[in-house]
Structure 1
Amino acid sequence: MLNSMSRRGGTFLPTVHSRSCFTRRQVLVMGGGALLAVVPALAAGAPAGGAWRDSTNARAVIGAAAPVTEGITLHLPNVSDSGAFLPLRLSVEHSQDDFPDTVHVIAPENPFPRVAVFRFTPLAGRARIATRIRLDVSQTVIAVARMRSGTVRVAERAVRIASSGCITPADGNWSEAMRTRVRVPVFEAGVPGEVVTLIKHPMENGLGPDAPPKRIIERFEARLDGEPALRATFGRSVAADPYLRFHLAPRAPGMLRLEWREDTGRRAVERLRVEVR
C-alpha cells in the first residue's frame, strides 16, 4: 500500500521584516490609502474592474465571455521577501457535468506572464492544484478558469515581494535533475485523494546572470490505466524543483503513470500501483 512516501521518498513540503515610525497625524493621513492597498490582497475573487482587464494574456483566454468571480479561489502570500518560491493554491468549484476544461495562471508583470495551464478531467474528482511560482515584481496574479458550460471564472491575488524571483540564479548542479518523488494515499472508491509530486530540476528560465540557455520542465501528465486525470503546461515562472499537489478519484485499483517532460525532449516517468479499498 502506498500510504506514505514512495521508495524514493523524503519530505518535500514547500519549505520583511522592517520597522517604520510614523506620527499619529501621518497614520491618520495614510490610513485610507493603506486600507485600500490591503483590500485587493484579501479579496477571494477579482473585483468587477480587476487586473485581468489590463492583461493581454488574461483577455486572450477570456475572449468575449463575461467573467464571474464566484466559484474560484486563488491563494498566495500577501508579502514575501523573495519572489523565487511562492506557494500557490488554486481551486475551482464544479459539478460532474460542468468541470473546468482549463485553468490558466498569469503573472502579468513577469517577463513571461504565462505561468501555467492546468487541464483537469472528472477522474481528478476535484479541480484543485498547489504548486510554487516565481514573481519578478510586486503584482496581481490572475487565475482564469474556463468551464465546460462556457462560463469563465476569474480570481486575483495581489502580492508584494522584496526581491525578484525571475532573475534568481538557478542551481548550477544538474546531477540530480529529473529525479522524482511521489506520495499517494490508499483511496476510497470514487472519493478524491491527494497525490503529491516533485521533480528535482533547476528550471533555468534564461533570465539569470549572463542569460544562460532556457531549460525547464515544460509538461506534466497524470494518467490512471491510460485515462488522463491532469495535464499541466509550465512556463518560465514555475519555481525550481516543480512541485504539484492534485487529486485523483479512482473507482478501482490501477496503475498511475506520471510523466514530466523537459523542453529538450528529456522525460522522467513514475509508475505506481493505486490501491482502492
Structure 2
Amino acid sequence: MMSGPTSIRLARRDLIFGAGAGLVVLTLPRAVLARPTLDDAIRGFTGGKALNDGRVKLDIPPLLENGNAVGVTIDVESPMTAEDHVRRIALFNEKNPQADIAIFHLGPRSGRARVSSRIRLATSQTVVAIAELTDGSFWSSRASVIVTLAACIEDLS
C-alpha cells in the first residue's frame, strides 16, 4: 500500500515482476494516475466543509514574465493564541501537474500566521490559499495569475 495525498491499495495482480535485474513494472488504472481537479484537491483538504471568504490575504504578482520562481506570501488574520490559532495553511493551483503546492502546519507558538515561499507555475491560472482555524472553519483567498513564460510543462490538458 502506498501513502500520500491519495492512498492507493494494490493487489498482487497489479504488480508485474519482470525477469532479469529485478525489474518491477507497476500498472495502475488511468483514473488513479489522473491529476485531481482544483475543487477535488480543496475538498480533500477541507473534508468537504464550506469555505469562507476573508481573513486570508494571498500576495502573488498578477502578471509574471517567468513562472519558474514566483514569490508568494499568505497572511491570515488570527490572534495565534492557544485557544484561537491557524492550524494549517494550504496553497493550491489550477493547472500545474499537481493541484496541491504546499501545506504549512502552524501552532500558537508560530507568533503570527504568515508563510512565504517561491513556487513554480506551469501557465496562467488560479491560485488558492486556504487556512484552517482551531474552530474547524476554513477561510480562503483566490488570485488569478498570468504567466507569459511557463514552467513545469507536462501534458496540461
2-structure distance, mates of 1:111, 1:64? 22
Name the structure 2 match of 1:120. Answer: 106
2-structure distance, mates of 1:141, 1:111? 13
Name the structure 1 match of 2:136. Answer: 150
1-structure distance, mates of 2:142, 2:86? 17
2:105 maps to 1:109: no
SS in 2 for 1:123: helix
Confirm or deny: 8 A CA contact 2:38 2:99 kept in the other structure.
Answer: no
SS in 2 for 1:91: strand
Name the structure 1 match of 2:46. Answer: 62
Confirm or deny: 8 A CA contact 1:72 1:153 kept in the other structure.
Answer: yes
Name the structure 2 match of 1:86. Answer: 70
Q: Which amino acid aligns with 1:134?
A: R
| C-alpha deviation, 1:82, in angstroms | 0.9
1-structure distance, mates of 2:48, 2:69? 34
Name the structure 2 match of 1:71. Answer: 55
| C-alpha deviation, 1:79, in angstroms | 0.4
- Structure scoring higher RCO (CA < 8 A, sep ≥ 6) equals 2
Higher normalized strand content (fraction of residues): 2
Q: How many residues align?
A: 116
Matches within 5 A, 1:130-141: 130-141=116-127
**CA distance 1:67–1:138, change in 2 (3 Å):** same
Confirm or deny: 8 A CA contact 2:38 2:92 kept in the other structure.
Answer: no
**CA distance 1:117–1:54, change in 2 (3 Å):** closer
Matches within 5 A, 1:7-18: none
SS in 1 for 2:132: strand
Confirm or deny: 8 A CA contact 1:98 1:148 kept in the other structure.
Answer: yes
1-structure distance, mates of 2:47, 2:85? 19
| C-alpha deviation, 1:62, in angstroms | 2.1
Confirm or deny: 8 A CA contact 1:86 1:133 kept in the other structure.
Answer: yes
Confirm or deny: 8 A CA contact 1:57 1:108 kept in the other structure.
Answer: no
Matches within 5 A, 1:174-189: none
Between structure 1 and structure 2, the one with the greater Rg is: 1
In the TM superposition, structure 1's runs of 4+ consecutive aligned residues that sit over 6 Å from their partners are: none
Write the deviation string for residues 43-70 of structure 1: whole angstroms up to 9, x where unpaired.
xxxxxxxxxx952101211223221112
1-structure distance, mates of 2:151, 2:131? 25
SS in 1 for 2:104: strand
TM, length-normalised to structure 1: 0.40
Write the deviation string for residues 196-220 of structure 1: whole angstroms up to 9, x where unpaired.
xxxxxxxxxxx6xxxxxxxxxxxxx
1-structure distance, mates of 2:48, 2:117? 29
SS in 1 for 2:52: coil
| C-alpha deviation, 1:143, in angstroms | 0.8
| C-alpha deviation, 1:135, in angstroms | 0.4
